[in-house]
Amino acid sequence: MISALNGTMSALSAFVTKLGVTADNIANVNTDGFKRNRAVLHEDYNGGVRVDIKKDESPGLRYDVIEDGKKVEKETSNVDLIEEVPDLMVTKRAYQANLKTIETQDEMLGSLLDIVG
């Protein structure tokens, strides 16, 4: 039971990191030239969860502006809210599910100690 708790705790930590990456992407949706990051979750060698953060180098949309009388090409961020918002909702639910797992494990351990004790 304790090893299951360790796996759940590492999952919670991974989901916090993933939420932070998604929040950063959403906060920079209107920042020209910003490149979004992706948090990819993997199983760790000990049954936990590991997070790899990768930068998405795909280009944003290009547009021209006039600065100091000269035409300058700029690039928007490559963040797409159509991807980010659903990803945020899924990550939130996964975090809540892992939190519920910890609460259930705590109740089970408490019941076991009551029976033994």
Give the list of residues 6+ apart from residue 74 with CB closer than 8 angstroms, or none: 32, 33, 62, 63, 64, 65
Domain ranges of the chain: 2-116
Query: What does pTM read for this prediction?
Result: 0.82
pLDDT of residue 109: 84
The residue ranges of DSSP E strands in 1-117, in sequence order, are 37-43, 49-55, 62-67, 70-75
pLDDT block averages, 10 residues each, the chain of length 117? 75 95 97 97 88 96 92 96 96 94 87 85
**What gap in Å lies between CA 59 and CA 34, rounded to an integer?**
9
